[in-house]
Chains A and B, each alone.
Chain A
């Protein structure tokens, strides 16, 4: 048997050290830099079990927390939602979610511009996951940094608001391309700010052609019904998928 397994081919090329001690050799690694994070994300996924888990991303101020407040309230009679909120500095968002009637945990990330699976794992220690149907993770307001970190979610939701420019999906392609759903928020002020709806929907369709698009106002509640129906359906789908796996 060879000392090294076949996936690692090592080639020696001497750089002419006096006693050979400076021999530089190449080691094939071929591993994702996200290997560690992805492992923790997989553990999170196990822990979440049949709960539907969302990772919601947007620029600061698009209305992630406002949408969650309303979602929590409007689902109160059929689904118990818990929220994990990432924020650079404060715990204001967790307080808002708590006031809306849902258990919430704040992750204050300090200088870190995104959530990682380990932060979520620690936060979930403080959440009674057993009693929940849906877990929403509000990521740090940023459209670049959170993209690469799997948190153990089932679905990525990327949000933009009507004040942000219709070409946003083109400027932040990765995070829109990974989205299962794209939410256009603040449609109550679309007209006032001169939002070009057709142009925005066209950029979304070009970058994220498979994503489901919702146009909502977290303020007035317009468009919420479709979004809530989608959540309910995704939750049912997950429960059914897992029960099949356990049975057969």
Chain B
């Protein structure tokens, strides 16, 4: 379960950012996770519950925005949202499979609520 490693990185980054702002605790952590990032929401929450104790985020909420996967068709010079969760990016206009993802692999710490 790699979600534990992801949560550890997240807590390091969140604490460093909160300290930089002179905050003493983190009330909420907002993440942006791409649909193809390979992160299981339940596993992420479970790992967070287990790892947050003793950190500045010991009572924080974890809020996650899941971003849809978006690909680009080079033939049509257009971008489109994937209509499946298998990573198949067939251009709705010309049917060409796309290798280029514009969005969908994000694992981003978007913002914190601190006090």
**A interface residues with partner B (beta carbon < 8 Å):** 8, 10, 21-37, 112-114, 116, 144-148, 169-171, 173-177, 205-211
Contact = CB atoms under 8 A, between A and B. Distances in A.
Contacts of A30: 108-111
Count class of interface residues, chain B: 35 or more
3 closest pairs, A vs B, by CB? Answer: A173-B87, A210-B99, A145-B2
Contacts of B107: 32-34, 148
A114 B109 CA distance: 21
Contact of B109 (A8, A22, A31, A176): A31
B102 to A, nearest CB: 12
A29 B110 contact: yes
B115 A28 contact: no
Given A25-B114, A27-B111, A170-B86, A205 B21 contact: no
B27 A28 contact: no
B36 interface: yes
28 contacts: A8-B21, A24-B114, A25-B23, A26-B114, A27-B17, A27-B114, A29-B13, A29-B17, A30-B110, A31-B108, A32-B106, A32-B107, A33-B107, A34-B9, A34-B107, A36-B9, A114-B5, A116-B5, A144-B2, A145-B2, A148-B2, A148-B6, A169-B87, A173-B36, A173-B87, A177-B99, A205-B97, A206-B90
Contacts of B110: 28-30
Contacts of A36: 9, 12-13
B9 A37 contact: yes
A204 B38 CA distance: 18
Contacts of B58: none
Given A114-B2, A208-B99, 5 more contacts: A29-B111, A36-B13, A144-B38, A148-B38, A210-B99
Given A207-B86, A210-B99, A174 B111 contact: no
B113 interface: yes
Given A26-B112, A30-B110, A148-B107, A10 B87 contact: no
B86 A33 contact: no
B62 interface: no
A113 to B, nearest CB: 6
Nearest to A210: B99
A238 B105 CA distance: 26
Contacts of A10: 21
B101 to A, nearest CB: 7
Contacts of A173: 36, 85-88
Given A170-B86, A208-B99, A26 B36 contact: no
B37 interface: yes
